[in-house]
Amino acid sequence: MKKIISNLVLCFLIMGITFSCQDEENLPNTNPEEEVSDDTDTDDTTDIEDNPDNDTDTTTETENTYDELDLIGRWDLISEEEVGNDIFNIVECNDKYIMILSKKEDGSNLAQFEQYTMMDQECTASTSWDYVWEITDDQFVTYTTTDFDDRYDEDTYTIIELSSTTLKRISTTTYTENGVEKTSEYIDTFKKL
């Protein structure tokens, strides 16, 4: 058990948490001058459970877990892509779209969306009503509430990339065309302002 825990921690550190590690007996020998010993009595590794002074954090996070604090800010939509089709780069005023994610004083999450249009030779923003946003693992959800519906106009996205400057999310839309049900996936790429 001691060797397996040590090897898993080592594998997580070297290969990242998405790598499925094997036990020590099945790992390849990376040093050709060193012989692999079958003698388990000479194990000098320390079992994590046997060492109360060990402050090594062995917990791991799921690969697709994001912190909501990483999402707070102004996000400028720079491209949209229907999977399998060309990328649509946002360049015109009428295509400009900004997502604003923040926290209210009461700690709840606030989302607002600015859509731009040309009016009197100027690119002018109109702001949506207030939405709520949530993040659970890699699922990003926005919705608003009404007197009749607690989750009105709800949209769900899967985050596929999140850094200090970039957000990529994917959404799936199912629709019927000529009596045939079809599904399209869309990838939105945002740049943090």
Q: Write down the pTM of the prediction.
A: 0.62
Per residue in 63-106, pLDDT (tens digit) is 567 888 889 999 999 999 998 887 777 778 878 999 999 999 99
CA distances from 60 to 54, 110, 136 (A): 17, 29, 16
**pLDDT at residue 6 above 50?**
no
Matching residue, tokens 């060990």: 54
CA dihedral 140, 142, 145, 148 (to 10 degrees): -80
Residue 164 pLDDT class (50, 70, 90 cuts): very high
Per residue in 108-134, pLDDT (tens digit) is 999 999 999 888 888 999 999 999 999
Contact of 47 with 2, CB cutoff 8 Å: yes
pLDDT at res. 127: 93
**What is the CATH code for 68-192?**
2.40.128.280
pLDDT at res. 87: 76
User: For residues 97 and 88, what is the distance between their CA atoms, to the nearest angstrom?
Assistant: 13
Instruction: Sketch the domain layout of the chain as residue ranges.
Output: 2-50, 68-192
